Amino acid sequence: MRIANKLFLLLTIIFINNCASVSAPKGGEIDAIPPGLVSTTPKILTEINPTQKITIQFNEYLQEASLKKAIKIFPTGDYDFKYEYKGDEIDFWIPSNLDTDTTYLLVFDTSLKDEHGVNITQDIVIPFSRDFVFHSGTIEGNIFGDFNTAFILLWLNNPNKAIMLNTAPDYILHALSNGTYQFNFLPNTDFSIVAVQQYGSNIDYTKGAFSFYRKNKLSLHNNLLSNINFYLTRPTKEENGVISSDSLTVDDTDEKALVKTATVLGSVKGNFLHPINVFLKNQENSYTNLVELGGNYTIDEVLEGKYQLLIYEDRNNDLILNMGSFTDEQFAERFYVYPDSLILRANWELEIPMWNYSLEKEE
């Protein structure tokens, strides 16, 4: 009995010590996965009634404060919608003032965050319509250049540049980090389009990098427009934005001899109507040179690094790849991008295989 009491006392002490011990909580892995769309109720949002409630389910809790900025409806308009935050769900009431023959897009843009502050990486687009089918038009392409972020802006019915400057776009899409973009559920009509580096209600996007397409009008009458490509680049220190291949100089002759550079050469074949130039660029350096009548080109004195190679029509012979202007009727000069990036080392001579750009599909 005495032994049993001692054993009981020992177990009691151990239990109390374990309960009283304090240890730091173990930290888990940092959440770096953005939230994602799970479903909508109803599942297919056709034949929707004005003021009808739909429920949008996400795979994790959202940051409520980010919703107000992130939620939008396209085409843009004065809509009387409302929503209610429910953690990982959102109840959304359809606007009352909708046309019967339009596919609308409920968009959560990349400012949407989860409860840990992780942004979504691409816009979440949910189509809805009072009609029994969705519009099926698609415009897609790539944005080339050296930019941190890019947006594609669309205006319905091909307005002129003055209207584009003074009217909000009907559709806005944040391009992916690799430069690709795709608009879906568009009507089969005409559009004006422009790519910009920044966009917002209080941002003058004409002050930053922007790029028009080479045509003033996109006609979406066959459900798909592909290869609608743009070139965006940060302004350089040079006034004209491009360093000519023969302008890379070092003041002191002896110092210039110590700079080890590379050479790029090759030939192109295609159907440009204007003189064409070859353009080599990365974030630090730019080089351009004329392509000879026979299609051969050479770019000398290239500093080592990773580069993107383009050819473009130089309509005004200024050795600049022009992307158009809001102040005149000029649109972007036509260009093609070499499919692979180039790694150049000092004292290298890199010969590019024959590049037949006329074989590339273009709208």
Q: Is residue 342 part of a domain?
A: yes
pLDDT at 77: 93
Among 240, 244, 242, residue whose Cα is nearest residue 300 = 244
Distance of CA 12 to the CA centre of its chain: 65
CATH number at residue 347: 2.60.40.1120
| Residue range of the domain that includes 122 | 33-133
pLDDT at 28: 52
Residues 276, 180: one domain?
no
> What CA–CA distance (Å, rounded) separates 333 from 336?
10
Residues 222, 262: one domain?
no
Choosing from 102, 133, 164, the residue where a domain stops is 133
Q: Is residue 71 part of a domain?
A: yes
CATH number at residue 60: 2.60.40.3710
Q: Is the pLDDT of residue 38 over 50?
A: yes
Give 313's contacts (C-beta < 8 A, 6+ positions apart). 272, 273, 274, 275, 276, 333, 334, 335
Write out pLDDT tens, residues 279-324.
999 888 889 999 998 899 999 999 999 999 999 999 888 888 999 9
The mean pLDDT of the chain is 84
Distances (CA, A) of 239 to 212, 215, 251, 311: 20, 26, 20, 21
Share of the chain above pLDDT 70, in %: 83
pLDDT at 47: 96
Residues 96, 41: one domain?
yes
Write out pLDDT tens, residues 232-251.
876 554 433 343 333 333 34
Select the more confidently predicted residue: 129 or 27: 129
Q: Which has the minimum average pLDDT: 77-91, 110-124, 245-259?
A: 245-259
pLDDT band at 253 (very low <50, low <70, confident <90, very high): very low
Residues 304, 350: one domain?
yes
Here the tokens at position 235 are: 């302004």
Q: Is residue 1 part of a domain?
A: no
Q: Is the pLDDT of residue 54 over 50?
A: yes
Arithmetic mean of pLDDT, 44-50: 95
Residues 228, 266: one domain?
no
Q: Is residue 51 part of a domain?
A: yes
CATH number at residue 186: 2.60.40.10
Select the more confidently predicted residue: 360 or 78: 78
Residues 276, 325: one domain?
yes
Choosing from 115, 133, 151, the residue where a domain stops is 133
Q: Is residue 6 part of a domain?
A: no
Residues 152, 123: one domain?
no
pLDDT at 235: 57
Residues 225, 314: one domain?
no
Residues 113, 170: one domain?
no
Q: Which residues of 14-24 are buried (b: 16+ CB within 10 A; e: fewer)?
A: eeeeeeeeeee
> What CA–CA distance (Å, rounded) separates 259 from 24?
57
Q: Is residue 114 part of a domain?
A: yes
Residues 231, 273: one domain?
no
pLDDT at 207: 82
Choosing from 113, 133, 153, the residue where a domain stops is 133
Domain count, the chain: 3
Q: Which has the minimum average pLDDT: 20-29, 121-130, 140-149?
A: 20-29
Q: Is residue 101 part of a domain?
A: yes
Write out pLDDT tens, residues 80-106.
999 999 999 999 999 999 999 999 999
Write out pLDDT tens, residues 331-340.
999 999 998 8
pLDDT band at 225 (very low <50, low <70, confident <90, very high): very high
Residues 265, 327: one domain?
yes
Kindly report the pTM of this predicted structure.
0.81
pLDDT at 102: 96
pLDDT at 363: 52
pLDDT at 120: 93
pLDDT at 30: 62
Q: Is residue 10 part of a domain?
A: no
Residues 126, 160: one domain?
no
pLDDT at 17: 46
Write out pLDDT tens, residues 179-193.
999 999 999 999 999
